Amino acid sequence: MSKLIVGNWKLNPESASEAEALASAVDRRGTVVCPPFLYLATLKKALKRAKLGSQDAFWLNSGAYTGEVSPSQLKSLGVKYVIVGHSERRRFLLESDEMINRKVEAVLHLKLNAILCIGEDLETHGRGGGAALAYIKEQLRRDLDNIDVKYLKNLIVAYEPVWAISTFQTGLRDTPENAQKTIEQIKDFLAKRYRLSQSVVLYGGSVNAANASGYLSQASIDGVLVGAASLKPNEFNKIGI
Ligand code: PGA
């Protein structure tokens, strides 16, 4: 199976014309581009090869929910992938596992691909001795609570250790070997608990052109979720090549 390369643009760029130019510069098969909501329609036209993704979705499809964007609106715009539960939303928007659980379910019910982000924080990581794995499993249990297993075939998990995100300056990041080990354990958990024998799990956290092949060459890592480097075509275009 070819590996999936997902670009998460976060709160960038500044204007629709920059978004259009960036989209054209990174448009290739096997990739997913996730711009801010307000550039989705522009990118739908600009992208010929890459798939369109969003960075979030609400858990209901209509109603009095000011400021929200529904999975069905995203679907009608041509969105195929929806990131849910990114650690920045958990942290800055106080998204709870209960909210994330409803979002994952709503996205999967529409047969969109949900990219569920999980990962331990620095404090948990520092405790060692299986603390990170216990934390991740608990996130998965809560985020997938009560979702009928028949919907889980469109689930993609992104393992993003929170302490390794946006850490290009400090150089703090997980090693490919350690990420491989954790992802193997995540897959094992998904297989045992949800009977998902073919789960898809990505790695994310300071992935760039220089280190991507280390992660992508690991047997259990099915792709990468890329933040900062997805805004630089000369970096992003080298990932997965
Ligand atoms: P980063 O972001 O590549 O800039 O660390 C990854 C992410 O937050 O998905």
Substitution site in 4, 172, 226, 231 for ligand 1 pocket (most atoms within 8 Å of beta carbon): 226
Ligand 1 atom at minimal distance to the Cα of residue 117: 9
Q: Which helix (H) or strand (E) holds 105?
A: helix 97-109
Sorting pLDDT into bands at 50, 70 and 90, what band is 183? Answer: very high
CA of 229 to the centre of ligand 1 (A): 8
Indicate if the pLDDT at residue 172 is higher than 90: no
Q: Averaged over 197-216, what is the pLDDT? A: 96
Ligand 1 atom at minimal distance to the Cα of residue 87: 8
Q: Is the CB of 207 under 6 A from ligand 1?
A: yes
Q: What local confidence, expressed as pLDDT, does residue 166 receive?
A: 84
Q: What local confidence, expressed as pLDDT, does residue 167 receive?
A: 79
Query: How many residues are given for the chain?
Result: 241
Q: Which residues are catalytic?
A: 86, 160
Q: What local confidence, expressed as pLDDT, does residue 23 receive?
A: 98
pTM above 0.75, yes or no: yes
Q: Is the CB of 230 under 6 A from ligand 1?
A: no
Confirm or reject CATH 3.40.50.300 for domain 4-236, answering yes or no: no
Indicate if the pLDDT at residue 1 is higher than 90: no
User: What residue's CA is closest to ligand 1, atom 6?
Assistant: 227
Backbone phi, psi, residue 170, to 5°: -80, -20
CA 22, CA 87: separation in Å to the nearest integer? 25
Extents of the domains making up the chain:
4-236
Q: Name the one residue in this structure whose structure tokens are 């990739």.
A: 31
Q: What local confidence, expressed as pLDDT, does residue 239 receive?
A: 97
* % of the chain residues with pLDDT over 70: 99
Q: How do residues 48-102 score in pLDDT, each as one tens digit?
A: 999 999 999 999 999 999 999 999 999 999 999 999 999 999 999 999 999 999 9
Alpha carbon 178 to chain centroid, angstroms:
19
Q: Averaged over 104-115, what is the pLDDT? A: 98
Mean of all residue pLDDT scores within the chain: 96
Q: In sequence order, which residues have a C-beta less than 8 Å from that of residue 14 and are 6 or more positions away?
A: none
CA 148, CA 159: separation in Å to the nearest integer? 22
Indicate if the pLDDT at residue 105 is higher than 70: yes
Indicate if the pLDDT at residue 157 is higher than 90: yes
Q: What local confidence, expressed as pLDDT, does residue 241 receive?
A: 84
Sorting pLDDT into bands at 50, 70 and 90, what band is 39? Answer: very high
